[in-house]
Amino acid sequence: MTMMTTRRKLAIATWGPPDEGNIYGKITVDATEALAYLEAVREKSGEKVTITHFVGKAVAMALAQAPGLNGRILFGRYIPHKTVDLTYLVVLEGGKDLAKVKVERLDEKSIVDVARELRERAERLRGGKDEDFEKSKGPLKALPTWLIRPLITAVGFLTSGLGLNLKALGLEAFPFGSCILTNVGIFGLDEAFAPPTPFARVPVLVLMGAIHKAVVPDDRGQVVVRDRLTITATIDHRFMDGAQGGVLAKVIRDLFDDPWQLDPALRPGVRALPAAEASP
């Protein structure tokens, strides 16, 4: 018998047959300007900012404008979160395992700050130096899947529902924030949809695919080659309807159309002022 990984045991213990309402949607955006913006940020900061950081920023900004999605449901009542926190999934052991990094107040942070925080924490996870993650893996390794299911259900209620810190288990309050983001493009997939994750208790799960070249018409009807990216979302229908989904799509599209709004000084054609001129 093949030995199951911790990740596979957790998956089996988490899901049964689907019986809840979810909304699945996708948008395909032109990533050409975003990639140019990220190149400018890398040149200026020296930090390895990527499209994954950019998508996280876009989603967080969208959640800030759709407060009905930035919260949790507890005892049949919607309770908003005080901050916009988003969780990135981090690949470990060449894809054999996953870990998470929650970035708090992501909508308020710069792309560079997000990239730096994610890089530093991912390095700790991959080096086995994240104490909380190592603590949380213990029970999953030791228990059979039929015992893991009630355990993670109870832990999810305590941490993601009630907002309790369970430090002994390496778990914080609201460990996943309001959204989970993962990049399947690194595996060469153009698009995919995330399965709902009951114990995480987040209303939105976002996946981003691989960027690929596509021939598209521009505003003048000319055929051009552009970089295209598909972003998909799995959304708990209890939190949103079509109107709120439209807000998410609009904010994300607007940021991809004009990523320079995040740092106007980097916009092509904008002259950086010398220090003397820039001072009030």
The proportion of the chain whose per-residue pLDDT surpasses 70, expressed as a percent, equals 90
Nearest-angstrom CA–CA distance, 90 and 123: 10
* Paired residues of 252 in beta bridges: none
Average pLDDT over residues 205-234: 90
Query: pLDDT tens-digit profile of 224-263?
Result: 899 999 999 998 888 876 677 788 899 999 999 999 999 9
Region of 94 (left: φ > 0; alpha: ψ -120 to 50; beta: rest) is left
Residue 157 lies in a domain: yes
Nearest-angstrom CA–CA distance, 101 and 90: 7
Coil, strand or helix: which one is 17? coil
Average pLDDT over residues 193-215: 92
Residue 25 lies in a domain: yes
The enclosing domain of 159 has a CATH number of 3.30.559.10
HEC string of 130-146?
CHHHHHHHHHHHHCCHH
Looking at the 3D structure of the chain, how many domains does it have? 1
The pLDDT value recorded for residue 19 is 66
The pLDDT value recorded for residue 5 is 66
pTM: 0.86
Residue 154 lies in a domain: yes
Residue 10: band (very low, low, confident or very high) from pLDDT cuts 50, 70, 90: confident
User: Tokens standing for 156?
Assistant: 């999810």
Q: Provide the mean pLDDT of the chain.
A: 87
Residue 69 lies in a domain: yes
User: Tokens standing for 106?
Assistant: 């992501």
Count CB neighbours of 253 within 10 A.
17
Residue 239 lies in a domain: yes
Residue 76: band (very low, low, confident or very high) from pLDDT cuts 50, 70, 90: confident
Residue 3 lies in a domain: no
Range of the domain at 226: 21-257
The pLDDT value recorded for residue 45 is 95
Q: Decide if pLDDT at 280 tops 70.
A: no
Residue 18: band (very low, low, confident or very high) from pLDDT cuts 50, 70, 90: low
Residue 279 lies in a domain: no
Q: Decide if pLDDT at 167 tops 80.
A: yes
Cα torsion angle, 196, 199, 203, 208, sign: negative
Q: Decide if pLDDT at 132 tops 90.
A: no
Q: How far is CA 54 from CA 24, 68, 167, 252, 262, in A?
A: 22, 23, 31, 10, 10
Count CB neighbours of 158 within 10 A.
16
The pLDDT value recorded for residue 8 is 63
Query: pLDDT tens-digit profile of 87-129?
Result: 999 888 777 778 899 999 999 999 999 999 999 999 998 888 8
Amino acid at 261: Q
Residue with tokens 């989603």: 59
Helix axes of 6-14 and 145-156: crossing angle, nearest 10 degrees: 70
Task: Kindly report the backbone phi and psi dihedral angles of residue 102, in degrees, each rounded to the nearest multiple of 5, phi listed first.
Answer: -90, 125
Residue 89 lies in a domain: yes
Q: Decide if pLDDT at 144 tops 70.
A: yes
Residue 36: band (very low, low, confident or very high) from pLDDT cuts 50, 70, 90: very high
